[in-house]
Amino acid sequence: MKIIRSFYIVTFCALFLGGYTRAVIVITTATGTGADSYVNYGSNQGVNYGSSETAQVLMGSSNDYLRKAYFRFDLSSVSGSITEATLSFRVTSPDNLTGGGPVKLYGLNDGVTGEDWSETGITWSNAPANTLGDTAALDSNATELAAFANINSTTTTVNFTSEILSFLQADTDNNVTFIVTGGSYLTGSPIRYNFYTKENTSTEPFPTLAITTIPEPSSIALILIALTTLVWVRRR
């Protein structure tokens, strides 16, 4: 009976501590080595837009109207195991939308060359995972995570949760980059999405990543061992 009672006490304490140490941290692209920008094909493929107040995704019929957006978050302030996450974008002034465009969210694969892309240096010509031709596609260094639901209001907030969780959990170097691009480019009038960047001071601090963590399993195991030992000693 004592053993069973001790087991319940230890389990309760471990669950209590696990819940008590659950933490939520909010990161923006202004945190640490975070960054946001977009890249543009055609005559501007060597131009950097790191200081722009919007990151543009544009799907048009001419090279100058092809644009992809890049957002990097610095996870170095996150400790423990990631259990939940919400990625939020503020999207404004979409043009020529008729029920939303074929816009997709990608993750730059962990560990690939270019994860440390420069906010003031990234262009169409050097952006990681970018395919350099007249295309919306990314190469195999990026993985599709989600598609945007219809965005047809003037300004709206777009959230991703479960779609990004495994991507974040797989990160090993505290650098995660999300890329937004069109599923395909169009003929005729271009479709444009403008994402607020950290340089836009007239709105809330978007893009934002809110992460919930619990202690690493190894930490919980240590707590259990310590509690078990404590209970055992007290009962002797």
Strand, helix or coil for residue 212: strand
User: What type of residue sits at position 34?
Assistant: G
Tokens of 229: 């030992």
- Per residue in 170-188, is it b (16+ CB within 10 Å) or e — as a string? ebeeebbbbbbbbeebbee
Least distance from Ca ion to the Cβ atom of residue 29, Å: 7
Among 125-133, 142-150, 166-174, 228-236, the segment contacting Ca ion (CB under 5 A): 166-174
Helices (H), the chain: 2-20, 162-169, 217-235
Q: Taking CB under 5 A as the rule, does residue 173 contact Ca ion? A: yes
Q: Which of 54, 175, 200, 208 binds Ca ion (CB under 5 A)?
A: 175
Q: Among the candidate windows 12-20, 85-93, 148-156, 169-177, which touches Ca ion by CB under 5 A?
A: 169-177
Q: Which of residues 49-108 bind Ca ion (CB under 5 A)?
A: 50
Using CB under 5 A as the binding rule, whether residue 171 contacts Ca ion is answered as: yes
Determine the residue with CB nearest Ca ion: 110
CA–CA distance, 66 with 130 (Å, rounded to integer): 12
Decide: is 36 part of the binding site for Ca ion (CB under 5 A). yes
Residue whose CB is less far from Ca ion, 51 or 61: 51
Q: How many chain residues touch Ca ion (CB under 5 A)?
A: 7
Gap between the Cα atoms of 24 and 5, Å rounded: 33
Which H/E stretch holds residue 197?
A: none
* 31 lies in the binding site for Ca ion (CB under 5 A): no
User: Does position 197 bind Ca ion by CB under 5 A?
Assistant: yes
Q: Residue numbers of the site for Ca ion (CB under 5 A)?
A: 36, 50, 110, 171, 173, 175, 197
